[in-house]
Structure 1
């Protein structure tokens, strides 16, 4: 077997994520860590769709890479597996929690730059992510020991083609036009990036009303807050950072700045962010380099476990 599931990393309603190990084809025959998102075949539509979208972004250094898919029989169940790049640094949410926010402006601007580069490519190819939030941004620690991270956008389950119907995603990162008018287009992703930048620098959501509870009353109160108030702009940050966040929080989506414009904003265009990121882009991680020798993986039985009999007609 050239692929194994090693341990459980997490999961939710739409799939379980495992740490996996894949052995590349000769002449390398090298083990590479991957993330494997799995679901029983009857519930796998969303992760199959995610794989098809991610296939469009192969080679983009700011979007998690997908190496292919597999349908296997595991312990008597037919399972669909999506093979993804493994992020050893966890999520941006984990990093925010560990630092209680309070990122330096330099660090926050570097991460904002990378988020914008990733979402710029998403929008360029005619897609909208629709669920940008810290839990869906994955970290790859820099190998030079600088303490910074390369960011990649992941979890494209709710993503859509621009102009199609969509979902508003996580409430705290949802734009007003998405929540109240059902408009789920590119400016929605920019609003979410503004929310994340505020959270990085303060450890808190830009909304005054927040709750860890998910009951209906709390959701309704937050919706009212979002309808009649503006998101809270941090006071202890530079005017440049404030201006950047305000451009993301333009209430009119037609006026809100695009990723292209924001990449030229001095908050993210300064501090050698482009230079550092180009260095990362040119430094190919071993796993990615090895996988570049592989074709798109589309197999049956990559993870299959031996079973004595099967009545589903799949073997």
Structure 2
């Protein structure tokens, strides 16, 4: 196996060589290269309402944003984009919400953005919300997700506003189960990295990682394993008074695969091969052994992706899915950690991506790691 992998790496290297240069040390907030974009503009980019945007010179910004490498999308370009997007689908009289546009399709149904129908009693729902919709006969996963989310209350976890049953069109087709979730207009970290097109500076990664890790720590304190931590499931929502760069706070979302350790379904923790391949830990792929450490491995992959701008295991791009799965589960390899990163960042990643789940650092220990410890202190002071 090792000889095969080494040969594959050599082929990949000869085919296309990439040099990852170290990002400059971010000494002050004014030197941050984090892209700063408006809520409505980024929303348009994230949900692909148009294939191209007009890029203009950044306007004068507040002093704390000076030096940003942001590409600013003009108001004119945004309005032109919006005029091309599909019209809002009107719901029948009496419906609580009106469908706007689709946000995607998952394994258990459709996801779309909705706004309130002001002609009916909205029962305290927000003006905009995300609806996960599935035929009621296949809604067990959404029902489980709702049950878990309703047991959580954290600024680092997406909000759940409950669920509604609606009739399909025509009514003879049955009913839909609708899970009502918080709308995070900044999209996901996966969207942001794709939109940015390059690595993030370490200081920005430290801030985002601290918030995400606090969310994971909270989830684990409730004896819940997320099972699918990845950039696409870390959403960004604007918070005007936040100390975060661009005031985007990360929130953990999509608990469709989550398990509570005390549940009958979890059992003894074995036989649970679930998650997204590139972010799955070796023990989960190898034997379906699931514990909190699996989430920590996935979190480490997110941090690595933010620091490098590349997906984990990208050095194995010549391998097909089955062979890559064998590498992750049955070799001593871990995702490549560039030597160009700071010593603290490298050590932090090694602690997250320890092959042995029993010696892998837990979330509390990672929050006290030198890579994040200063950041944690600064964030607490600012929030107070």
TM-score, length-scaled by structure 2: 0.66
Q: Which has the higher strand share?
A: 1
Show the 5 A alignment for 1:53-68: 53-57=148-152, 59-68=153-162
Structure 2: gaps (5+ residues): 1-93
Specify the alignment match of 1:225 in structure 2: 327
Query: Which one has a bigger Cα radius of gyration?
Result: 2
Tell me, what secondary structure is at the counterpart of 2:110? strand
Q: Provide the aligned C-alpha RMSD in A.
A: 2.5
- What secondary structure sits across from 1:206 in the alignment? coil
CA contact (8 A) 2:279 2:312 kept: no
In the TM superposition, what is the alpha-carbon distance from 1:219 to its structure 2 partner? 1.4
Q: Give the corresponding residue for 1:44.
A: 139
Alignment map for 1:1-315 (pairs within 5 Å):
1=94, 2-22=96-116, 32-57=127-152, 59-75=153-169, 76=171, 77-143=174-240, 146-162=245-261, 163-164=266-267, 165=269, 166-207=272-313, 208-210=315-317, 218-226=320-328, 227-228=330-331, 229-271=333-375, 275=379, 279=383
Runs of 5+ unmatched residues, structure 1: 212-216, 283-315
TM-score (structure 1 length as normaliser): 0.80
Structure with more relative contact order (C-alpha pairs < 8 Å, separation 6 or more): 1
Within 1, Cα distance between the matches of 2:135 and 2:381?
38
Closer, same or farther in 2 for the Cα pair 1:178/1:79, shift >3 Å?
same
Cα distance in 2 between the residues matched to 1:101 and 1:81: 37
Question: How far apart in 1 are the matches of 2:104 and 2:122?
Answer: 33
Q: Which runs of 4+ in 1 moved over 6 A?
A: 23-30
Q: Secondary structure at the match of 1:179?
A: helix
Shift of 1:148: 4.6
